[in-house]
Structure 1
Amino acid sequence: MQPRIPRPTVIAAIIVAMTALSLAGLLVPALWYEAVERSEAGRALLAAACAGGVLALHGRLLWLNLMRRTAPAHRWALAAITAVCWALPAVLGVAHGWGNALIVPAGLFAVVLPLRESMIVTPVAAVAAPLYGLALGLPVPSALYTAAAIPLYTFSGYVTVWFFHVVQELSEARAELARSAVGEERLRFARDLHDVLGHSLQAIALRAEVAERYLDRDPGRVRKELTEVQAMARDAVGDVREVVRGYRRTSLRTELDGMSAVLRAAGIACATPDVAGDLPAHVHEPLGWVAREAATNVLRHSAATRCEIMVRDAAGRIELEIVNDGAGRRGDEAGSGLAGLAERLAAVGGALAAGPAGGGTFRVVAAVPRGEP
């Protein structure tokens, strides 16, 4: 089971709490000494106030930088933390753990300051803090520990904030990809629905017009056309259901048979082309969509009297060419569905070309590689 990722504010709060706990581990022994063993109220109150103020301000600066709410005043806050931490060993002595206070500001060097500045401040502090501690009487091992701990705390603070921001950006990118996938699916569904219904409704309308023309002259022909309308309507409903499910598969032979039958019913001479039986499976769907869209455009955007359909297998590509006349009489617009078809073909390594071919004809050529993309 994949764990649920908390919100960024929750993660930031956990980071601040863990950092405060680790820093408290540096100061608690000294506070315990002042409050319990030394038992001087004034020193204990001063130590508690300074330590509490440092931890609170440290956590506040870390939180604001995690939330990307940086400000120039943060430099002054870091300077105040550094001044208090360096003053505590001088006022209360370096014994019993107050020398650890010299390490506390290091975790914010690379968080508050720009990276280039922090790369200068960190080595300076790593040298100055041990020397300052030795001058106050800090033991040599403790001074060496301070010299090593300051770069480590600086690096730890930088990596913590960097990782938090990376995780947050990845989460946002994941959400954006999800939104993009939803948008792509909506576009795909709209394109499929246009291709399916555009062709089917045009064919139904054509059959209905034919039935209306023969209404008074040939009742038998009317019944035949109405039967075809019913069948086409049922097929359209089935196609829409399959598009919704995302499982629709198109056969090029079936689409070309349907295309030629619809065009002939409209009085357009159109012969059904021969289609090889060994065409690869991935070729049928994109070229089938081309056949559907071409039939719709011939009916809607031309006054065609003939339409030629050719399927060729040459140079490792399967080509479908559709040429119709009558394009000049109603304009040579190709229909908005061809843009979607070009995207479909490009997705499988194919190409689409459509435009006037001279002499009032309009030509559509679609090509798909024979090999699997």
Structure 2
Amino acid sequence: MIAAIMVGLTAFTLAGFLLPALWYEVFDRHDPGRILLAVAAVAIVFALYGRLLWLNLMRRTAPGHRFGLAAIAVICWTLPPLLGTDHGWGNALLVPAGLIAVVLPVRPATAVTAAATVLTPAYGIVLGLPALSALYDFAGVPLAAFSGYVQVWLFHVVQELREARAEMARSAVGEERLRFARDLHDVLGHSLQAVALRAEVAERYLDRDPGRVRKELTEIQTMARDSVRDVREVVRGYRATSLRTELDGMSAVLRAAGIRCDRPEVSPELPAHVHEPLGWVAREAATNVLRHSSATWCEITVDAGRDRVRVEIVNDGAPRRAAGGGSGSGLTGLAERITAAGGRFTAGPAGDGTFRVTAAVPAAPAPRGAA
């Protein structure tokens, strides 16, 4: 659409150069031969000029376009001696200049423009144009060439900016989808695993301890409601994770599964920005211990130093996890979260039958835009 408008405006400019002289031929001279020649020449110039400009705006450049430019130059430089320089045909000498930098590469275009700047006024003087017209041609050739170059260049810049903006929008959508998928995995993976565990415990005590079953069912209801709330908060993008809350929930869930796990002490003075990434570490670690190990104990350590806050989670029963093959998308998501917070994350078997997850986040918030 924009390209068509630019071609139309250029044709309107050309009309100012050529149509006054054509008007004089048609309505004043009444010479059929001259009229036919003038109409044919102007029509060819308009058609070639518009097509060459359109193709270059669309980046469909070709070496053959130089022949089109040469044809326009021949026609425009032939009309003044054939039809006379009076009544405006001398303006035709400037018409090819607007396409020089459009059709030709920069270096050849510069050389051709320099030559045309000298030859055009000299040719005009030979044809009998006034000195003022020759001076106008001397200044008009480089201006027309530069104008044509800037016109095409600006069009391409605008197109590239629009494409870049569209690509950034697509990238932002993709990143948001990845974030949502990661958050949803972390929330539902942990919550559903905990619900399944509580249901198994309730089934185990179904015949021998109705009170324990009622307690487990109550816990299942609470977890389900919390999961619904968490999913809603993830969808809104405002979910705030507390490290202390996540560690309390992790230790309670593991103890309910028969895994010894003491709740660690968490300083109330932890920086606010460390809670979310380290809270996700605790949540995903609990899910992995339940799902991928035959752990009997899990040890959680929180170390808050001046420079960084470090959480380490170690559990036994790692051989069973290794047999499962692969770390899954949960640990990959954790690594992305900790890296985005400017920290370091490691996870893997320690070689002594244990599995160790370590995450450290700087005590000072990472600068915006930092990886």
With the shorter chain as reference, the TM-score category is over 0.9
Q: Give a deviation string over 1:238-295, Cα, whole Å, max 9, x none.
A: 1111111111110111000000000000111111111111111111111000000000
Q: What is the TM-score of this pair, normalised by structure 1?
A: 0.95
Please, which of 175, 182, 193 is the counterpart of residue 173 of structure 2? 182
Q: CA deviation at 1:58?
A: 0.5
Q: CA deviation at 1:33?
A: 2.6
Q: Match for residue 369 of structure 2? A: none
Q: Match for residue 354 of structure 2? A: 361
For residues 1-373 of structure 1, the aligned pairs below 5 Å read 10-331=1-322, 334-373=327-366
Q: CA deviation at 1:358?
A: 3.1
Q: 1:139 to 1:59 in 2, by over 3 A?
A: same
Q: CA deviation at 1:167?
A: 0.6
> Counterpart amino acid of 1:248?
R
How far apart in 2 are the matches of 1:70 and 1:80?
17
CA-atom RMSD, angstroms?
1.3
How far apart in 2 are the matches of 1:253 and 1:190?
24
SS across alignment from 1:331: helix
Q: Which consecutive unaligned segments of at least 5 residues does structure 1 have?
A: 1-9
How far apart in 1 are the matches of 2:29 and 2:321?
102
How far apart in 2 are the matches of 1:174 and 1:212?
56
> Counterpart amino acid of 1:266?
A
User: Contact conserved, 1:301 with 1:335, CA < 8 A, in 2?
Assistant: no
Q: 1:30 to 1:104 in 2, by over 3 A?
A: same
Q: CA deviation at 1:213?
A: 0.8
Q: CA deviation at 1:343?
A: 0.7
Q: CA deviation at 1:229?
A: 0.9
How far apart in 1 are the matches of 2:25 and 2:7?
26
SS across alignment from 1:353: strand
Q: What is the TM-score of this pair, normalised by structure 2?
A: 0.95
How far apart in 1 are the matches of 2:102 and 2:113?
12
Q: 1:153 to 1:39 in 2, by over 3 A?
A: same
SS across alignment from 1:196: helix
> Counterpart amino acid of 2:152?
V
Q: Give a deviation string over 1:53-91, Cα, whole Å, max 9, x none.
A: 211210111111111122232111111111000000110
Q: Give a deviation string over 1:324-353, Cα, whole Å, max 9, x none.
A: 111124427544311111111111111111
User: Contact conserved, 1:23 with 1:104, CA < 8 A, in 2?
Assistant: yes
User: Contact conserved, 2:270 with 2:304, CA < 8 A, in 1?
Assistant: no
Q: Give a deviation string over 1:87-128, Cα, whole Å, max 9, x none.
A: 001101122221111110111111111122111111111111
How far apart in 2 are the matches of 1:191 and 1:57?
57
Q: CA deviation at 1:144?
A: 1.3
Q: Which consecutive unaligned segments of at least 5 residues does structure 2 have?
A: 367-371
What count of residue pairs does the alignment treat as equivalent? 364
Q: CA deviation at 1:141?
A: 1.1
Percent identical among aligned pairs is 72
Q: Give a deviation string over 1:112-171, Cα, whole Å, max 9, x none.
A: 111221111111111111111111111111111111111111111111111111111111
How far apart in 2 are the matches of 1:63 and 1:78?
13
How far apart in 2 are the matches of 1:299 and 1:325?
12
Q: Give a deviation string over 1:194-221, Cα, whole Å, max 9, x none.
A: 0001100110111011111111111111
How far apart in 1 are the matches of 2:267 and 2:6?
66
User: Contact conserved, 1:271 with 1:308, CA < 8 A, in 2?
Assistant: yes
> Counterpart amino acid of 1:302?
S
How far apart in 2 are the matches of 1:351 and 1:241?
29
